[in-house]
Amino acid sequence: MLEFPQNFVWGAATSGPQSEGNFKKQHQNVFDYWYQQEPTAFYDGVGPDTTSNFFNDYKEDLLLMKKAGIKALRTSIQWSRLIDDFETASLNAEAVSFYNDVIDTMLANGIEPYINLFHFDMPVELQHKYGGFESKHVVDLYAAFARQCFKLFGDRVNNWFTFNEPKVILDGAYLYKFHYPLKVNGPLSVQVAYNINLASAKAILEFNKLYGSNKEKKIGIILNLTPAYPASESEADKKAANIAELWANKMFLDPAIKGKFPEELVVLLREAKVLWDATSLELDIIKNNTIDNLGVNYYHPMRVQSPDIAANSLQDWMPDIYFDDYEMPGRVMNVDKNWEIYPKSLYDIAINIRDNYENIDWFISENGMGVSNEERFIDETGIVQDDYRIDFMKNHLSELQKGISEGSHCQGYFTWTGIDCWSWKNAYRNRYGLIRNDIHTQVKTIKKSGYWFEKLSKRNGF
């Protein structure tokens, strides 16, 4: 039996825009708008209108999650749902009632709420008017939204998070065109990265004003960590991996935990003449408002090699001019998602946090396997026989437990996801849930992995 520490949290993660549907929302977020403008950009033309219908089904959905052994649920509050007027942070009363009832229903079912404030869902009005997080004014509007959330729900919610996967905001919206506004602008992505770090710190400042003395209440950030491994032991490959690590991981890890940006990254960006605009006051806010705990989303490693083209060639600045992707021969793949499966990274992450990041309390906030056409694995009883997902979790948990046994302070494991949910442009192409959702009928059934997870949660191990 592989056992986990006492009080280890077994949970699942989702988000407001991926589960609720946009029922009765006063405002559109960037994905609502993009789908309205270009539905063919989304897999099978499926958009964010109904998603998994959590807005209407949350009472039944939470009961199903409880049956699958989910003892904590990480989800998000949609800025575009909660707020009436973005400039004043006035409230939409119906949205306040909805989120209050969701949180109360979680607690009534013994499910601890872990609440995130931003999951790629910038209100489109703020994107069009100000450029979203390109603007420091939007940073302040976000902090006001965060304060409203803390005041409204902080009496029952102890675990808060400012952002989910800020690096994906850069990749999708400002570098590689898979999130709206579909820009390709490397220097602008640097400023957006800085502004998001500042926004996170300003939200933490608001949280600390209200709850700083309450040791039960914690605030953190959710980062997708992809350890960068060099293709070889050559100095050129190791240099490429180091720069990839600075951009992909340390640019958000260091300010969140240490209160400052890595000097090596600052020098690199300054020499390239793309360093962000910052003030000493802003840097002090980042320095003095660090996180209490860290959520780590992990799916795949990052393997890199020295670039074919020298970084100082005449070319537009992009973060990946310093490294090229490397495809390791013989790697194990999730072919449906085109991601390498490499559980050992969880051990490496655990030891990195232990040794280089103050051994801060942390947890796996997402880990899961997306598979296409899961209908092929439904047996005669109607249950998805997803042994591949069980094996995926077992292998990753084994590496995680090894890191914990060596002193890393991991507090929990949240799988992505509880119920099959809508996944941005990919819609429902890949399914991740412990619970199947027939999107045509909204009938939901526990998969084999859900029954396994229930035993895992009950036994605190496997």
**SS3 label, residue 123:** strand
In the chain, the domains with their CATH numbers are 9-459 (3.20.20.80)
Q: Which amino acid is residue 37, in one-letter code? A: Q
pLDDT of residue 417: 97
Q: pLDDT at position 418, please?
A: 98
User: Model-level pTM greater than 0.75?
Assistant: yes
Interval 236-291: pLDDT, tens: 999 999 999 999 999 999 999 999 999 999 999 999 999 999 999 999 999 999 99
What is the C-alpha separation between 457 and 387, in angstroms, rounded?
A: 17
324-325 β-sheet, strand order: 228-230, 302-305, 324-325
Residue 357, Cβ density class (10 Å: 0-12 exposed, 13-18 middle, ≥19 buried):
middle
pLDDT at residue 397 is higher than 90: yes
Q: Where are the alpha helices (DSSP H) in 305-414?
A: 344-356, 387-405
H-run or E-run covering 198: helix 186-211
pLDDT digits (tens, 9 = 90+) for 410-438: 999 999 999 999 999 999 999 999 999 99
Catalytic residues: 165, 366
Q: What is the dihedral of CA 255, 75, 359, 303, to 10 degrees?
A: -70
Q: Judge whether residue 21 has pLDDT over 90.
A: yes
**Paired sense of beta strands 228-230 and 159-164, if any:** unpaired
- Give the residue among 61, 69, 51, 67 at the shortest CA–CA distance from 15: 51
Q: Each residue of 157-179: pLDDT tens digit?
A: 999 999 999 999 999 999 999 99
Please name every residue paired with 376 in a beta bridge, in sequence order, or none if there are none: none
Using 50, 70 and 90 to split pLDDT, how confident is the model at 213? confident
Per-residue pLDDT band at 15 (split at 50, 70, 90): very high
Q: Could you report the per-residue pLDDT of 55-93, keeping only the tens digit for each?
A: 999 999 999 999 999 999 999 999 999 999 999 999 999
Helix, strand, coil share of the chain (percent; to 5): 45, 20, 35
Phi-psi category of 419—alpha, beta or left, where left has phi over 0 and alpha has psi -120 to 50? beta
Q: What is the greatest pairwise CA distance in the chain?
A: 64
Beta carbons of 102 and 65 less than 8 angstroms apart: no
How many contiguous H segments (helices) and E segments (strands) does the chain have?
A: 16, 19
Residue-averaged pLDDT of the chain: 97
